[in-house]
Chain A
Amino acid sequence: MVMSMSWFIPENEFDIFVKNLSKKRRLFVPVKENSIVRFVEFKDGIKPYFEKQATSSAKNTIFPQTETLFRFEYKKDPKDLKKFSVEISETIEAPETVVLGTRPCDARGFLVFDKVFLNPKHPDIYYQNRREKSLFITMTCTDPEPTCFCKAVGSSPADSLGSDILITKVKDGFFVETITEKGEKLLNELNLKDGDAYSKEAEKVKDEANEKLESPFDTKGLSTDILKLFNTNFWEKELAHCLSCGVCTYLCPTCYCFNITDETSDSEGERIRTWDACMFFHFTLEGSGHNPRPTKAERFRNRVGHKFSYFPDRYDGMIACCGCGRCIKSCPASVDIRKVIIDLKEAANESA
């Protein structure tokens, strides 16, 4: 943490700010396409869209849906065709990256990733490299939506944790403050106006944003409640309308599960890592053909259990949900994770 320093960008200079950010680095911004908003790489002609929370999270910016871990090629020995060797080439790609327009929930999501992928005993070098070279410029959420519940999971609409820079919209422009040294270094390069004069106004905006949101449930005792219901039919009935698709997990800022497969053609191929979803049958299918989570009830139980019980139990109480509400808004069957939690607390209470 550094002493917070502040800058100001007048409304009509924001486009220049965006352009300058993209000069030396790869820049991701939220863009509206049809009725949805997603983070894509900025280039000339792209119009960023900051008005509403993006439909998908920003996790693709440092955790791409498909990444090549290495390439391989089988080579035959021309002198003895029965013999062959395998050549492996590394493929780590980690360009300097700035992500502009995340919301506090997006930035918080990566803190969950960090626990897993930056574990000091066995850090994931692919993630680590990209994480170190990435910087998040978050925007204070001045209009949290009714589906937002970040307060219930320990965050808030103006939370700066996980971000490098926080931007707050004030009347005449944008108040910009540094949260980390990385963020400060970047802003020093950009030659912005001093923001001191706007700090009071920005604080007021942030306070108001924080007050706008209520907490739909209390996470106290939740981990135990989930375990209490583990072997009951609660899940089957509560999630009967779940389609067991991957919408919730793939839009989620904290869902980090992946698959590793070899995709080969002829004598060469690559080992890839791709997003995976615990809602899929194949996620836990074992080589023997046995599947410990054969139906969607066990799969959804795992999704809730992982986020609100197993993960916090393992990582100092950190809840693996940032309360962004994307899984609620985009669910084709209107599954509402808040309702699942409220209902499960009630069911656990009744069974006690």
Chain B
Amino acid sequence: MTDREEKISELIKNELNNVDFFIAYGRGYDPIHVKPLFVYEEKDLDDLVMNIFCIHNNASYLKTVKDKKVGIVVKGCDSRAVVQLIQEGLINRDNLRIIGIPCTGVISIKKLKEKMDISRVTEAKVESDSVIIKTSDEEKRFEKDDLLADKCLWCQYPTPVIYDHLVGETIEPSRPKELEYKIVEEMEKEDLNVRFEYWNKELSRCIRCYACRNVCPMCVCQDQCVMESRNPHWISLKSNITEKVMIQLIHAIHLAGRCVSCGECERVCPMDIPIFKIKQKMNQIVEELFDYKAGIDLEATPPLYTFQVEEAKIKEREW
């Protein structure tokens, strides 16, 4: 165990009496696959890890355990989901114990997979700005920045925005904010037909497994979601492109002013569909229109929770 893991472990041990369980990170089936670790008793902590592969947003589970007292380990990006859920009154702050982890970025397995065969990883480690991955046949060294998840490259919240305990020193944001909507701006340079073809092709792979929805910390409708509901019957169960597009648009629009840009929807997609782009477009609009970023300020009211006849920045103002 590293020092940081020891500290987290110690904090969880001390807090375990105050909660039903703790959600941390644990060892997965190989060194690059980490799993959300549910700690019920001290011995569960044997599996605890805290490293560059801890990409999962543990706040994804909060919507399913609203009636429980829960401890949770969060990075900066994850903590925004916790704040947004509290802002919306969907979870109760008093039921939460939060361990915050200042973070300098986590690795996208998909990016790593593009660079090497990841089926036989035996060891993975970080040495300053490099990531070293060993397999049974080779050892590869990568620049850390080349492997980080997109969201880390423009991260403005390396330190959690809410916590009871912080493990490690506060980290000041150092990534360029301008990159935040670059993936959207790049796409918008393309002709409309090209974009149309692009989304037709990408979304055609969707298998309607709803991983993007289930992992989304803000998708709180859960079993009532219209993607499957027969009453209301807004979309059919067919696997046509029209349904697949509709599903993503419903998800994005339902997240307007709520999406915390954790990127989990895209990470979990088993068909590698770049759906985070859709969410980022929505977030860009929300930021331009309402000057609002989700999950930053406990006291703020999310823009679509209010209705003002004249929003400060809508173009209708000039009509």
Contact = CB atoms under 8 A, between A and B. Distances in A.
A132 B267 CA distance: 39
A33 B207 CA distance: 14
Given A240-B21, A241-B37, A335-B35, A147 B29 contact: yes
A282 B202 CA distance: 27
A250 interface: yes
B7 interface: no
A261 B243 CA distance: 15
B195 interface: no
Nearest to A243: B214
Contact of A246 (B33, B113, B207): B207
A250 B239 CA distance: 13
A36 B222 CA distance: 28
B270 A36 contact: yes
A107 interface: no
B211 interface: yes
A272 B240 CA distance: 12
Nearest to B229: A282
A251 B267 CA distance: 17
Using C-beta atoms within 8 Å of the partner chain, give the interface range for chain A: 35 or more
A277 B209 contact: yes
Given A56-B270, A247-B268, A332 B238 contact: no
A272 B243 CA distance: 14
Interface string B255-280: 00000000010011011110000000
A66 B120 CA distance: 35
B223 A333 contact: no
Given A36-B271, A332-B267, A263 B237 contact: yes
A237 interface: yes
A245 B214 contact: yes
A246 B237 contact: no
In the complex, which of the residues A246, A275, A334 has the most CB atoms of chain B within 10 Å of its own CB atom?
Answer: A334
Interface in A241-258: 241, 243-247, 249-251
A150 to B, nearest CB: 15
Contacts, number: 121
Contacts of B30: 146
B94 interface: no
Given A36-B270, A66-B239, A261-B230, A336 B29 contact: yes
A35 interface: yes
B254 to A, nearest CB: 17
Given A147-B119, A245-B210, A245-B211, A240 B238 contact: no
B29 A247 contact: no
B35 A241 contact: yes
A217 interface: no
B208 interface: yes
Interface string A195-213: 0000000000000000000
A282 B119 CA distance: 34
Nearest to B238: A66
A250 B207 contact: yes
Interface in B230-261: 230, 236-240
Interface of B: 21, 28-30, 33-38, 40, 56, 60-61, 110, 113-114, 117, 119-120, 202, 205, 207-211, 213-215, 222-223, 228-230, 236-240, 264, 267-268, 270-273
Interface of A: 33-36, 38, 52, 55-56, 65-66, 145-147, 237, 240-241, 243-247, 249-251, 259, 261, 263, 272, 274-275, 277, 280-282, 328, 330, 332-336, 338-339
20 contacts: A34-B202, A34-B273, A55-B270, A147-B29, A237-B38, A240-B38, A243-B60, A249-B209, A250-B270, A261-B230, A261-B236, A263-B237, A263-B238, A272-B237, A330-B270, A332-B56, A332-B211, A332-B264, A333-B56, A334-B28
Which 10 residue pairs spanning A and B have beta carbons closest together? A332-B268, A246-B209, A334-B35, A240-B38, A334-B28, A245-B211, A281-B223, A34-B272, A145-B119, A263-B236
